């Protein structure tokens, strides 16, 4: 097979690290270009761009996954990385085209799905969780380090150098896939005909969501995930712009905030999560995580000082324990042969939220007239900028309306989660699951269970 050596998890890890390191470098320049390109309705346009990208990713992910079962993983790794990174050089060439291509690139912004399928091809089932954890940790490492490096280089040498460097790293990633990554899907796993095996059921993005209402416990879990992840997805899309332009954070401060939040989240999702799961149980861990998320969003919504953002960020790290605790509860609730089905429902709901959340946040910013029209340009002295921004904040009782809306949404999620039972009788539910879900298997999807258990961080969160 083409590539260097035999397929390994390290090939996938390098692909993920290079792609998101390139995008992480552009965190600070993107916030500046976004404000300069859309000075009238910055938050609204940001929400629409990220929302279109998220919805396209949600719609295309099952089709690309099914096609990769037929044509192999390497070609789709190349395709997804190329189109995901295609907007990068356009930032300095044409900002309008840059944001337009970002929106359209959502069709191929599913590198994680292909990477998890690649990992599933080459690992045994008992090794898979460790391999997925390594991929997620690599993603987090790139996100923790690259924004700070990009902000420093932009301040010293200018944003043009940052764009050139990010483009070079993206090209390096593409060359690495072409030259070094071997194909992971054996020829014997592929069907004889390329066109025949793809059915609408495999490509239907709503296929997993249609099964949600067939079990009351899974329905409660899915409603909880939707109500809690919808504001989280919206927050990811707009929060760094909010810090930069409304709260008066410098590019370096935003990068430091990302790094600190990333490190605290990693600690919370490993050490703290394991301690809580052993001491207070699965359901109570979910409720605690939702409680932290309500506090964090309310703090963001009413906070008007930079130190409040830092304090709320520490709480946000603790709220990141919710989703892994939900995934663990789901895995205990479902039978062994239905793990992929129920985890796929959760992943599908999160994918839908990645499209709806950013658009919702942008619209709420717009209807509450949280705009940047009177703000000075980023080149002005930091002191003057902060005074003007705080003066604007004093005119509003709620500085961040979408975050307060998000807190109300998570409060509803908390109330729903109270009705989720801690323990269920798996034997009674076995026949129910098989009756509803047994006919939905895909003949050419060996990676489905692994692909469904997608880790916390997704492409569209960046």
CA distance 277 to 96: 47
Nearest one of 40, 150, 65 to 450, comparing CA atoms: 65
Indicate the DSSP class of residue 270.
I
Asked if residues 349 and 221 have their Cβ atoms less than 8 Å apart, the reply is: no
Asked if residues 172 and 165 have their Cβ atoms less than 8 Å apart, the reply is: no
Per-residue pLDDT at 70:
77
Nearest one of 328, 332, 268 to 296, comparing CA atoms: 268
Per-residue confidence band for 379, with pLDDT thresholds at 50, 70 and 90: very low
CATH 1.20.1250.20 assigned to 1-185: yes
| Model confidence pLDDT, tens digit, residues 182-232 | 887 766 555 544 444 566 666 677 777 777 777 788 788 889 989 998 998
- Tell me: pLDDT of 383 over 80: no
Q: Can you give 302-350 as a three-state secondary structure string?
A: HCCCHHHHHHHHHHHHHHCCHHHHHHHHHHHHCCHHHHHHHHHHHHHHH
- Tell me the CA end-to-end span of the chain in Å, nearest whole number: 33
DSSP 186-218: -GGGS-S-SSTT--HHHH-TTTTGGGGGGSHHH
Report helix, strand or coil for 389. helix
- Tell me: pLDDT of 384 over 60: no
CA distance 185 to 177: 15
Distances (CA, A) of 261 to 140, 378, 451: 10, 24, 26
Per-residue confidence band for 407, with pLDDT thresholds at 50, 70 and 90: very high
- Tell me: pLDDT of 89 over 70: yes
CATH superfamily name and code, 211-371+400-421: MFS general substrate transporter like domains (1.20.1250.20)
For the ranges 273-287, 296-310, 328-342, 397-411, the lowest mean pLDDT is seen at 328-342
Q: Across all residues in the chain, what is the average pLDDT?
A: 77
Per-residue pLDDT at 272:
86
- Tell me: pLDDT of 65 over 70: yes
| Model confidence pLDDT, tens digit, residues 292-319 | 999 999 988 888 788 888 888 888 888 8
Q: Where in the chain is the domain with CATH 1.20.1250.20?
A: 1-185, 211-371+400-421
Nearest one of 321, 297, 254 to 399, comparing CA atoms: 297
CA distance 78 to 80: 6
| Model confidence pLDDT, tens digit, residues 15-43 | 989 998 999 898 888 888 888 888 888 88
**pTM for the whole thing?**
0.73
């Amino acid at each position: 097979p083409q590539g260097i050596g035999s397929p390994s998890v390290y090939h996938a890890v390098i692909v993920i690290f290079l792609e998101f390191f390139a995008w992480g470098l552009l965190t600070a320049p993107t916030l500046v270009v976004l404000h300069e390109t859309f000075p009238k309705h910055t938050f609204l346009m940001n929400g629409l761009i990220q929302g279109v990208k998220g919805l396209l990713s949600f719609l295309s992910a099952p089709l690309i996954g099914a096609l990769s079962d037929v044509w192999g993983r390497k070609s789709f790794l190349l395709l997804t990385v190329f189109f995901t990174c295609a907007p990068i050089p356009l930032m300095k060439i044409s900002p309008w085209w840059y944001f337009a291509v970002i929106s359209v690139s959502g069709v191929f912004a599913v590198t994680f799905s292909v990477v998890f399928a690649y990992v599933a091809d080459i690992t045994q089932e008992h090794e898979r969780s460790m391999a997925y954890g390594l991929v997620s940790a690599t993603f987090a490492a790139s996100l923790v380090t690259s924004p700070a490096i990009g902000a420093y280089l932009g301040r010293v040498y200018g944003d043009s150098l940052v764009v050139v460097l990010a483009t070079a790293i993206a090209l390096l990633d593409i060359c690495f896939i072409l030259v070094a990554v071997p194909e992971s899907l054996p020829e014997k796993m592929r069907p004889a005909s390329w066109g025949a095996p793809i059915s609408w059921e495999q490509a239907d993005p709503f296929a997993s969501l249609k099964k949600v209402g067939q079990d009351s416990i899974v329905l409660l879990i899915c409603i909880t995930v939707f109500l809690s992840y919808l504001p989280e997805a919206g927050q990811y899309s707009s929060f760094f712009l909010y810090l930069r332009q409304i709260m008066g954070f410098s590019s370096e401060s935003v990068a430091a905030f990302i790094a600190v939040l990333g490190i605290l989240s990693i600690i919370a999702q490993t050490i703290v999560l394991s301690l809580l799961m052993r001491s207070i149980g699965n359901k109570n861990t979910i409720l605690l995580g939702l409680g932290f998320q309500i506090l964090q969003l309310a703090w963001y919504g009413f906070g008007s000082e930079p130190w409040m953002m830092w304090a709320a960020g520490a709480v946000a790290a603790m709220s990141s324990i919710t989703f892994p605790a939900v995934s663990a509860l789901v895995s205990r609730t479902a039978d062994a042969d239905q793990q992929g089905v129920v985890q796929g429902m959760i992943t599908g709901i999160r994918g839908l939220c990645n499209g709806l959340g950013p658009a919702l946040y942008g619209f709420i910013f717009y209807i509450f007239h949280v705009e940047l029209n009177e703000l000075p340009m980023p080149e002005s002295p930091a002191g003057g900028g902060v005074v003007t921004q705080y003066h604007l904040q004093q005119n509003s009782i709620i500085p961040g309306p979408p975050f307060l809306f998000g807190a109300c949404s998570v409060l509803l999620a908390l109330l729903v989660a109270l009705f989720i039972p801690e323990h269920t009788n798996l034997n009674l539910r076995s026949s129910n699951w098989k009756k509803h879900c047994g006919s939905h298997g895909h003949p050419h999807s060996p990676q489905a269970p692994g692909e469904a258990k997608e880790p916390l961080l997704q492409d569209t969160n960046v």
